[in-house]
Amino acid sequence: MANNSLLIHPKIDSAANVNNESKISDSKRVLNAAGFMDMDGLIKLVLFITLALMPFYFVKALSFALLTGYLLIITLLSGIKMRTLFISASSYFIIVLIPYLLGLMINIFISFLSNGYAYTQESAQILLRLLRLFIMWFLSILYFQTTPMKTVLGLLDRFLFPLKLAGLPVQDYLKVVMCAVLELKNTGAELKESLAKSMRSVLGGEKAKFMFKLNIKALSQVIVSLIVNSFGKLDRVEKLVENVNPADLYGYFFRLTKREIIALSGFTMFTILVIMVEKGYW
Amino acid sequence: MNKNKKYALIIIMVTNAILISFLESFIPIPIPVPGIKLGLANIITMIAIVFLSWQDVLLIVIIRSFVVAILTRGVMMIAFSLSGGILSAIVMWLLYQKLSRFVSIKGVSIAGAIIHNSAQLLVASVMLGQAVVLYYLPVLLISAVVTGLITGSIGEIAIKEVSKKGVFLEETIQEETAQEER
């Protein structure tokens, strides 16, 4: 689809370059992922949402074990980098688990000091809730890391159709999202490297922990120069926004191939197995 | 300001916010508090509050949360980013636009950090179904004052420099004229 769009709009040089680059990276990802990544976005979304909701209806521990095994298989098939998964999953621990555990600790400490009421809870239930949330989190990471951005935005474009009818410029907003992603992909890596360099040179030599006041001054210099310099590319980005067609940036078309049929069959088998376990047949 | 220039500005500001968040990993924090971030990306929200309309500010916050969630942390992150981001942006916008005589940029930033942390903790407690999470709020509020002050100090310099550059000049003039008319 992107190919056709590029033929229709050959004048959009920058956008075409960007598209070619993303096409190359997309094809690389497809090769790496042994085809899983190229699966239809909508079917994958429906499967993942169902998988994320399943644990809320599980009663038996064996169902969780089966789900874990199934998730492990699809994670391996997806070819996703373990480092990416680890980094993404760590945000779950930082944002959800740490405040919870620290809140619990503070609560116990207060009740210990005041010899008063300590917050009681059923730890098994909490653990179960944390596990269910983690599965949801994990599946969302897996989906977004294995689905091309073009497809995600293409699907969003379809889902947000009612907002379009209400007069909201959904296409413009999605174009802005995709342009921001492309901008990050194109200049982000280079900028990241130079920023890291300047940050190390500014902060690295100092005894950072004890010279925090100095660090803030140096830090503000780096940040302010990044912001001020970034507006230098305003004309280029404006031209990109002006010339690029939403159809070049994102789109979704339903497809049902052998790959989707295999995935659906595997999922159906897993669901039947889990239902058997839950009903007590196995 | 024409539509495409506005969108280009929004794209640049969103990418800046994401790159600034990346910078945070290099900054040593004297007293590390679990779950605490400096929130330097808030500098971009402050710049937007000063130079752009509230609709554009919200658009920047929503697009930033969306892009970060999709690229790195998963869709559940959107609930946290959006609740904290949108609420803090609204409060900061109101403080800057209505009470700028009494509240400095640093004050606006501190208020934004407090609202951001509180909103995220509230979402975490709703998701977990556990009020016990809120016991951590005092710790987060104290650290929000410190991080908000740091972010506000840098934001103040950034706003001055951006103002000198005159990128938003047309928009600022429009805003000032609209305020005078009001």
Q: What is the ipTM of this complex?
A: 0.82
Residues B15, A91: C-beta atoms closer than 8 Å:
no
The domain spanning residue B120 has which CATH number?
1.10.1760.20
Indicate which of B73, B106, B123 best probes the interface with A, i.e. most A CBs within 10 Å of its own CB. Answer: B73
* B95 pLDDT more than 50: yes
Percent of the residues in chain A that have a pLDDT greater than 70, as a whole number: 78
Does the residue B175 lie in any domain? Answer: no
Residues A141, B40: C-beta atoms closer than 8 Å:
no
Does the residue B181 lie in any domain? Answer: no
Given a cut of 50, the residues of chain A with pLDDT beneath it are 1-34, 207, 209-210
* Cβ B148 vs Cβ B109: under 8 Å: yes
Cβ-Cβ contacts under 8 Å for A196 (sequence gap 6 or more):
B26
* Domains identified in chain B, total number: 1
Does the residue B179 lie in any domain? Answer: no
Q: Among partner residues A107, A184, A231, which is closest to B132 by beta-carbon distance?
A: A107
In angstroms and rounded to an integer, the radius of gyration of the C-alpha atoms of chain A is 24
Does the residue B176 lie in any domain? Answer: no
pLDDT one-digit tens code per residue, A41-58: 999 999 999 999 999 998
Percent of the residues in chain A that have a pLDDT greater than 90, as a whole number: 18
| HEC profile of chain B | CCHHHHHHHHHHHHHHHHHHHHHHHHCCCCCCCCCCCCCCCHHHHHHHHHHCCHHHHHHHHHHHHHHHHHHHHCCHHHHHHHHHHHHHHHHHHHHHHHHCCCCCHHHHHHHHHHHHHHHHHHHHHHHHCCHHHHHHHHHHHHHHHHHHHHHHHHHHHHHHHHHHHCCCHHHHHHHHHHHHHC
Q: According to the model, what pLDDT value does residue A147 have?
A: 87
Record the tokens describing residue B142, joined without a space: 């104290």
Residue ranges of E strands in A184-262: none
In angstroms and rounded to an integer, the radius of gyration of the C-alpha atoms of chain B is 16
pLDDT one-digit tens code per residue, B166-182: 777 655 545 555 555 55
Residue B105 belongs to what domain range?
3-28+36-170
Q: According to the model, what pLDDT value does residue A19 have?
A: 45
Annotated domain spans of chain A:
1-32+148-244, 35-147+256-277
Does the residue B139 lie in any domain? Answer: yes
Q: Among partner residues A102, A126, A191, which is closest to B19 by beta-carbon distance?
A: A191
Does the residue B182 lie in any domain? Answer: no
pLDDT one-digit tens code per residue, A173-190: 999 998 998 888 887 777
Separation in Å, CA of A34 to nearest CA in chain B: 21
